[in-house]
Homo-oligomer: A and B are copies of this chain.
Amino acid sequence: MKPFGKVVVCGVGLIGGSFALALRQAGMAQRLVGVGRRPASLERARVLGVIDEACDDWATALAGAELVLLAMPVGQMAAVMAAMAPHLEPGTVVTDAGSTKRDVIEAAYSHLDARLTHVVPAHPIAGAESSGVDAAFPALYSGKKVVVTPLPENDEGAVQRVCDAWEACGAVIHRMSPREHDRVFAAVSHLPHLLAFGLVHDLAGRANAEQLFSYAASGFRDFTRIAGSHPEMWRDICIANRQALLGELDQYLAELAYLRALLLAGDGTRLEHLFDEARRARNAWAEQQTNPVSE
Protein backbone atom coordinates (compact mmCIF):
# COMPACT_ATOMS: atom_id res chain seq x y z
CA MET A 1 0.00 0.00 0.00
CA LYS A 2 1.26 3.44 -0.95
CA PRO A 3 1.37 5.85 2.03
CA PHE A 4 -0.81 8.95 1.97
CA GLY A 5 0.83 12.37 1.86
CA LYS A 6 -1.33 14.90 3.67
CA VAL A 7 -4.29 13.49 5.60
CA VAL A 8 -6.95 15.81 7.05
CA VAL A 9 -9.14 14.67 9.93
CA CYS A 10 -12.20 16.78 10.70
CA GLY A 11 -13.38 16.07 14.25
CA VAL A 12 -10.38 14.73 16.17
CA GLY A 13 -12.20 12.81 18.91
CA LEU A 14 -12.21 9.11 19.73
CA ILE A 15 -13.00 8.05 16.15
CA GLY A 16 -10.97 10.60 14.17
CA GLY A 17 -8.09 10.58 16.66
CA SER A 18 -7.80 6.78 16.67
CA PHE A 19 -7.82 6.79 12.86
CA ALA A 20 -4.95 9.32 12.86
CA LEU A 21 -2.97 7.34 15.43
CA ALA A 22 -3.47 4.07 13.55
CA LEU A 23 -2.46 5.54 10.19
CA ARG A 24 0.64 7.06 11.72
CA GLN A 25 1.58 3.83 13.47
CA ALA A 26 1.23 1.98 10.15
CA GLY A 27 3.49 4.54 8.47
CA MET A 28 0.60 5.42 6.16
CA ALA A 29 0.41 9.21 6.70
CA GLN A 30 3.21 11.67 6.03
CA ARG A 31 1.40 14.62 7.61
CA LEU A 32 -1.76 14.70 9.74
CA VAL A 33 -3.81 17.88 9.90
CA GLY A 34 -6.74 18.37 12.27
CA VAL A 35 -9.80 20.57 11.74
CA GLY A 36 -12.62 21.04 14.25
CA ARG A 37 -15.09 23.20 16.11
CA ARG A 38 -13.13 23.63 19.32
CA PRO A 39 -9.61 25.10 19.10
CA ALA A 40 -8.79 23.78 22.58
CA SER A 41 -9.60 20.17 21.56
CA LEU A 42 -7.47 20.48 18.42
CA GLU A 43 -4.58 21.90 20.43
CA ARG A 44 -4.96 18.97 22.83
CA ALA A 45 -4.81 16.57 19.87
CA ARG A 46 -1.61 18.28 18.68
CA VAL A 47 -0.01 18.14 22.14
CA LEU A 48 -0.88 14.42 22.37
CA GLY A 49 0.83 13.85 19.01
CA VAL A 50 -2.39 12.67 17.36
CA ILE A 51 -2.08 15.35 14.66
CA ASP A 52 0.91 17.34 13.43
CA GLU A 53 -0.98 20.56 12.93
CA ALA A 54 -4.30 22.17 13.90
CA CYS A 55 -5.87 24.21 11.16
CA ASP A 56 -8.73 26.70 11.38
CA ASP A 57 -9.41 27.37 7.73
CA TRP A 58 -10.41 24.94 5.02
CA ALA A 59 -8.35 26.59 2.28
CA THR A 60 -5.10 25.86 4.12
CA ALA A 61 -6.24 22.47 5.41
CA LEU A 62 -7.27 21.15 2.01
CA ALA A 63 -4.34 22.49 -0.03
CA GLY A 64 -2.57 19.42 -1.35
CA ALA A 65 -4.58 17.01 0.82
CA GLU A 66 -4.71 13.42 -0.38
CA LEU A 67 -7.33 12.10 2.05
CA VAL A 68 -9.99 13.71 4.24
CA LEU A 69 -11.86 11.86 6.99
CA LEU A 70 -15.02 13.50 8.31
CA ALA A 71 -15.48 12.23 11.87
CA MET A 72 -17.96 14.67 13.40
CA PRO A 73 -21.52 13.83 14.55
CA VAL A 74 -23.58 13.21 11.38
CA GLY A 75 -25.73 16.30 11.99
CA GLN A 76 -22.74 18.47 11.09
CA MET A 77 -21.88 16.73 7.81
CA ALA A 78 -23.87 19.01 5.51
CA ALA A 79 -22.48 22.24 6.97
CA VAL A 80 -18.91 20.93 6.91
CA MET A 81 -19.22 19.72 3.31
CA ALA A 82 -20.61 23.11 2.28
CA ALA A 83 -17.65 24.85 3.94
CA MET A 84 -15.12 22.47 2.36
CA ALA A 85 -16.53 22.45 -1.16
CA PRO A 86 -14.92 25.64 -2.56
CA HIS A 87 -11.45 24.49 -1.48
CA LEU A 88 -11.59 20.79 -2.36
CA GLU A 89 -9.04 19.78 -5.02
CA PRO A 90 -9.98 17.28 -7.76
CA GLY A 91 -7.69 14.45 -6.59
CA THR A 92 -8.54 14.59 -2.87
CA VAL A 93 -10.39 11.51 -1.58
CA VAL A 94 -13.09 12.30 1.00
CA THR A 95 -14.56 9.70 3.33
CA ASP A 96 -16.51 9.81 6.58
CA ALA A 97 -17.07 7.78 9.73
CA GLY A 98 -20.77 8.55 10.15
CA SER A 99 -23.00 5.96 11.86
CA THR A 100 -25.72 6.59 9.28
CA LYS A 101 -25.20 6.66 5.55
CA ARG A 102 -28.24 7.87 3.62
CA ASP A 103 -28.19 11.31 5.22
CA VAL A 104 -24.43 11.72 4.74
CA ILE A 105 -24.86 10.76 1.10
CA GLU A 106 -27.71 13.27 0.73
CA ALA A 107 -25.38 15.94 2.11
CA ALA A 108 -22.66 14.92 -0.35
CA TYR A 109 -25.08 15.13 -3.29
CA SER A 110 -26.12 18.59 -2.09
CA HIS A 111 -22.70 20.07 -1.37
CA LEU A 112 -19.97 17.99 -3.02
CA ASP A 113 -21.79 17.36 -6.30
CA ALA A 114 -18.73 18.30 -8.38
CA ARG A 115 -16.49 15.81 -6.57
CA LEU A 116 -18.64 12.67 -6.29
CA THR A 117 -16.07 10.42 -7.95
CA HIS A 118 -13.90 10.90 -4.85
CA VAL A 119 -16.47 10.96 -2.02
CA VAL A 120 -16.61 7.44 -0.54
CA PRO A 121 -18.98 7.01 2.45
CA ALA A 122 -18.01 4.53 5.17
CA HIS A 123 -18.77 3.54 8.77
CA PRO A 124 -16.25 1.96 11.13
CA ILE A 125 -18.06 -0.35 13.58
CA ALA A 126 -15.93 0.57 16.55
CA GLY A 127 -16.02 2.86 19.51
CA ALA A 128 -15.70 2.95 23.27
CA GLU A 129 -17.57 4.16 26.32
CA SER A 130 -15.49 7.33 26.53
CA SER A 131 -15.29 10.02 23.86
CA GLY A 132 -12.84 12.78 22.99
CA VAL A 133 -9.25 12.71 21.78
CA ASP A 134 -7.93 11.61 25.18
CA ALA A 135 -9.78 8.32 24.70
CA ALA A 136 -8.25 7.73 21.23
CA PHE A 137 -5.87 4.80 20.73
CA PRO A 138 -4.30 3.28 17.61
CA ALA A 139 -5.69 -0.26 18.06
CA LEU A 140 -9.34 0.84 18.16
CA TYR A 141 -10.03 -0.54 14.68
CA SER A 142 -7.92 -3.67 14.92
CA GLY A 143 -10.05 -6.60 13.77
CA LYS A 144 -13.17 -4.44 13.55
CA LYS A 145 -15.54 -4.13 10.59
CA VAL A 146 -15.66 -1.03 8.41
CA VAL A 147 -18.74 -0.87 6.22
CA VAL A 148 -18.05 0.96 2.95
CA THR A 149 -21.11 2.10 1.00
CA PRO A 150 -19.71 3.36 -2.34
CA LEU A 151 -21.71 5.70 -4.59
CA PRO A 152 -22.48 4.70 -8.19
CA GLU A 153 -20.47 7.80 -9.16
CA ASN A 154 -17.33 6.67 -7.29
CA ASP A 155 -14.00 6.20 -8.99
CA GLU A 156 -12.89 2.66 -8.13
CA GLY A 157 -9.38 3.93 -7.36
CA ALA A 158 -10.79 6.32 -4.76
CA VAL A 159 -12.79 3.49 -3.15
CA GLN A 160 -9.62 1.42 -3.05
CA ARG A 161 -7.71 4.20 -1.27
CA VAL A 162 -10.37 4.42 1.42
CA CYS A 163 -10.18 0.65 1.86
CA ASP A 164 -6.37 0.94 2.01
CA ALA A 165 -6.59 3.48 4.81
CA TRP A 166 -8.94 1.40 6.94
CA GLU A 167 -7.04 -1.81 6.28
CA ALA A 168 -3.88 -0.04 7.42
CA CYS A 169 -5.77 0.62 10.68
CA GLY A 170 -6.33 -3.13 11.00
CA ALA A 171 -9.98 -3.13 9.98
CA VAL A 172 -11.89 -5.62 7.82
CA ILE A 173 -13.80 -4.09 4.90
CA HIS A 174 -17.46 -4.95 4.18
CA ARG A 175 -19.43 -3.44 1.31
CA MET A 176 -23.16 -2.72 1.61
CA SER A 177 -25.74 -0.46 0.03
CA PRO A 178 -26.53 2.67 2.10
CA ARG A 179 -30.15 1.61 2.56
CA GLU A 180 -29.19 -1.86 3.76
CA HIS A 181 -26.61 -0.31 6.09
CA ASP A 182 -29.11 2.05 7.67
CA ARG A 183 -31.70 -0.69 8.18
CA VAL A 184 -29.25 -3.14 9.73
CA PHE A 185 -27.83 -0.59 12.16
CA ALA A 186 -31.27 0.75 13.07
CA ALA A 187 -32.00 -2.78 14.35
CA VAL A 188 -28.79 -3.81 16.08
CA SER A 189 -27.46 -0.45 17.26
CA HIS A 190 -29.76 2.57 17.04
CA LEU A 191 -32.81 0.87 18.57
CA PRO A 192 -30.91 -0.59 21.56
CA HIS A 193 -29.43 2.86 22.26
CA LEU A 194 -32.89 4.43 22.16
CA LEU A 195 -34.27 1.73 24.49
CA ALA A 196 -31.46 2.13 27.01
CA PHE A 197 -31.67 5.93 27.06
CA GLY A 198 -35.44 5.58 27.50
CA LEU A 199 -35.24 3.17 30.44
CA VAL A 200 -32.75 5.28 32.38
CA HIS A 201 -34.71 8.46 31.64
CA ASP A 202 -37.93 6.79 32.80
CA LEU A 203 -36.43 5.58 36.10
CA ALA A 204 -34.46 8.78 36.77
CA GLY A 205 -37.72 10.76 36.69
CA ARG A 206 -39.40 8.71 39.45
CA ALA A 207 -39.98 10.04 42.97
CA ASN A 208 -38.08 7.00 44.32
CA ALA A 209 -35.29 7.17 41.71
CA GLU A 210 -32.56 7.11 44.34
CA GLN A 211 -33.92 3.94 45.93
CA LEU A 212 -34.37 2.27 42.55
CA PHE A 213 -30.80 2.99 41.45
CA SER A 214 -29.45 1.82 44.80
CA TYR A 215 -30.74 -1.71 44.09
CA ALA A 216 -29.72 -1.80 40.42
CA ALA A 217 -27.13 -4.50 39.82
CA SER A 218 -24.88 -5.83 37.07
CA GLY A 219 -27.73 -6.76 34.70
CA PHE A 220 -28.90 -3.16 34.81
CA ARG A 221 -25.34 -1.90 34.47
CA ASP A 222 -24.73 -3.79 31.23
CA PHE A 223 -28.20 -3.16 29.82
CA THR A 224 -27.79 0.60 30.31
CA ARG A 225 -24.10 1.00 29.46
CA ILE A 226 -25.00 2.52 26.09
CA ALA A 227 -27.19 5.11 27.85
CA GLY A 228 -23.84 6.69 28.78
CA SER A 229 -23.21 7.47 25.08
CA HIS A 230 -22.71 10.92 23.60
CA PRO A 231 -26.14 12.69 23.48
CA GLU A 232 -25.42 14.93 20.48
CA MET A 233 -24.00 12.09 18.41
CA TRP A 234 -27.01 9.90 19.18
CA ARG A 235 -29.50 12.72 18.61
CA ASP A 236 -28.00 13.11 15.13
CA ILE A 237 -28.07 9.38 14.42
CA CYS A 238 -31.68 9.00 15.57
CA ILE A 239 -32.83 12.00 13.57
CA ALA A 240 -30.83 11.07 10.47
CA ASN A 241 -32.05 7.48 10.47
CA ARG A 242 -35.48 8.06 11.93
CA GLN A 243 -37.34 6.38 9.09
CA ALA A 244 -35.62 3.03 9.62
CA LEU A 245 -35.53 3.53 13.38
CA LEU A 246 -39.28 4.14 13.57
CA GLY A 247 -39.81 0.91 11.63
CA GLU A 248 -37.65 -0.99 14.10
CA LEU A 249 -39.28 0.68 17.09
CA ASP A 250 -42.73 -0.27 15.83
CA GLN A 251 -41.69 -3.85 15.31
CA TYR A 252 -40.28 -3.91 18.84
CA LEU A 253 -43.49 -2.36 20.22
CA ALA A 254 -45.39 -5.24 18.63
CA GLU A 255 -43.03 -7.66 20.41
CA LEU A 256 -43.67 -5.87 23.72
CA ALA A 257 -47.43 -5.98 23.11
CA TYR A 258 -47.13 -9.75 22.71
CA LEU A 259 -45.05 -10.05 25.89
CA ARG A 260 -47.60 -7.89 27.70
CA ALA A 261 -50.42 -10.18 26.57
CA LEU A 262 -48.51 -13.26 27.80
CA LEU A 263 -47.95 -11.59 31.20
CA LEU A 264 -51.61 -10.56 31.49
CA ALA A 265 -52.72 -14.08 30.66
CA GLY A 266 -50.13 -15.58 33.02
CA ASP A 267 -48.99 -17.75 30.10
CA GLY A 268 -45.78 -19.16 31.55
CA THR A 269 -45.41 -21.81 28.86
CA ARG A 270 -45.23 -19.34 25.96
CA LEU A 271 -43.13 -16.94 28.03
CA GLU A 272 -40.56 -19.62 28.80
CA HIS A 273 -40.54 -20.72 25.16
CA LEU A 274 -39.84 -17.15 24.03
CA PHE A 275 -37.10 -16.66 26.64
CA ASP A 276 -35.55 -19.94 25.61
CA GLU A 277 -35.48 -18.99 21.93
CA ALA A 278 -33.93 -15.65 22.81
CA ARG A 279 -31.30 -17.27 24.99
CA ARG A 280 -30.36 -19.79 22.30
CA ALA A 281 -30.04 -17.06 19.65
CA ARG A 282 -28.06 -14.81 21.97
CA ASN A 283 -25.70 -17.56 23.07
CA ALA A 284 -25.16 -18.81 19.51
CA TRP A 285 -24.24 -15.26 18.50
CA ALA A 286 -21.98 -14.70 21.51
CA GLU A 287 -20.09 -17.93 20.84
CA GLN A 288 -19.33 -16.82 17.28
CA GLN A 289 -17.92 -13.53 18.57
CA THR A 290 -14.38 -14.72 19.17
CA ASN A 291 -13.22 -11.12 19.01
CA PRO A 292 -16.32 -9.04 19.70
CA VAL A 293 -16.39 -5.75 17.86
CA SER A 294 -16.96 -2.54 19.78
CA GLU A 295 -19.08 0.35 18.65
Contacts and interface: CB of A to CB of B under 8 A. Distances in A.
B277 A221 contact: no
Given A125-B217, A260-B249, A266-B242, A191 B199 contact: yes
A277 B195 contact: no
A82 to B, nearest CB: 19
A109 interface: no
Contacts of A274: 197-198, 201
A227 interface: yes
A153 B231 CA distance: 51
Interface in A239-255: 239, 242, 245-246, 249-253, 255
B234 A275 contact: yes
Name the prevailing secondary structure of the A interface residues: helix
Contacts of A279: 197, 200, 227-231
B272 A232 contact: yes
Contact of A277 (B199, B201, B220, B294): B201
A184 interface: yes
A255 B286 contact: no
Nearest to A195: B195
A293 to B, nearest CB: 4
Chain A: interface residue count, which band?
35 or more
A278 B221 contact: no
Nearest to A125: B217
Interface in A184-220: 184-185, 187-189, 191-204, 206, 208-209, 211-213, 215-220
B201 A189 contact: no
A217 B202 contact: no
Interface of A: 75, 125-127, 145, 147, 184-185, 187-189, 191-204, 206, 208-209, 211-213, 215-232, 234-236, 238-239, 242, 245-246, 249-253, 255-256, 259-260, 263-264, 266, 268, 271-272, 274-279, 281-283, 285-286, 288-289, 292-295
Closest 9 interchain pairs by CB? A204-B281, A217-B295, A231-B275, A235-B272, A200-B278, A218-B294, A231-B276, A188-B216, A222-B222
24 contacts: A187-B203, A187-B212, A188-B203, A188-B215, A188-B220, A189-B216, A191-B199, A194-B259, A198-B259, A202-B252, A217-B293, A219-B226, A219-B229, A220-B295, A223-B226, A224-B282, A228-B282, A230-B279, A231-B276, A232-B272, A235-B275, A236-B268, A238-B271, A239-B271
